[in-house]
Amino acid sequence: MEKRLILIRHAHRDTEVPSKDNGLSEKGEQQVKRLLRYFEKRIEGEVRFLSSPKKRCRETLGPLVERYGGELEIDGRLTETGPIERQEELLARLGEFMDEWKYQGPDLLVACSHGDIIPVLVERLTGARIGIKKCGVVEIEFFAGDCYLTGLVQKPGE
C-alpha cells in the first residue's frame, strides 16, 4: 500500500487584530497563487482535503479544492496547540490523525495546518526534524509499513 500525505502550513495571515481568527493577508493571497502553480503537476486523481478549523488554513486550501475538486473537510485535530493543552493530549490527537491516514485514509491526502503542528507530525511519522515557513509544503509517503519524507519546499512556486 502506497499513500501520500501533503502537509501545507497556512499562508501569511492578516495580523491587524492578532487575537482574531483572521483570514489571509495580501501577502498570503500571493503565496496561495504560487502554491497553485507549484501543484499544477503534483496532484492527479482522487484527493481528499483536510483543514484546521482556522480561517487562514481554510483560505489557503480553498483554491486547491476548487481546482482539483472534492470538498474541504475541517479536522479539529489539525488546529494549533491551545494555551492549556498538555503534550500528551497533543500527541494523542496527532497520533489518531496519523493512524487514520496510514490505515484508513485515501491514497492522497492534502492537509493544511500550523507551524507548531506540522513539525511534530513529520518527526512522529519519519523521524526528521524540520522547521516550516508559511505556505511551505511537506510530502510524506507511506510504503510497506514505513513513512518517508520525500519533499520539503519552503517557498513553493518561486
What are the domain boundaries of the chain?
2-153
Backbone angles phi, psi at 5, to 5 degrees: -120, 125
pLDDT at 1 over 70: no
Q: For residue range 5-30, list pLDDT tens digits in order.
A: 999 999 999 888 777 788 999 999 99
Tell me whether residue 125 is exposed, middle or buried, using C-beta atoms within 10 angstroms of its C-beta: 0 to 12, 13 to 18, 19 or more. Answer: buried
Percent of the chain having pLDDT more than 70? Answer: 99
Mean pLDDT for all residues in the chain: 94
- The string of DSSP letters for 20-62 reads S---B-HHHHHHHHHHHHHTTTT--S--EEEE-SSHHHHHHHH
DSSP state of 82: P
pTM of the model: 0.95
Grid cell 522547521 is found at: 131
Q: The dihedral of CA 78, 82, 58, 73: what is its sign?
A: positive
Asked if the 2-153 domain carries CATH number 3.40.50.300, the reply is no
- Residues 36-45 have pLDDT tens digits of 999 988 888 8
Using an 8 Å Cβ cutoff, are 151 and 130 in contact? no
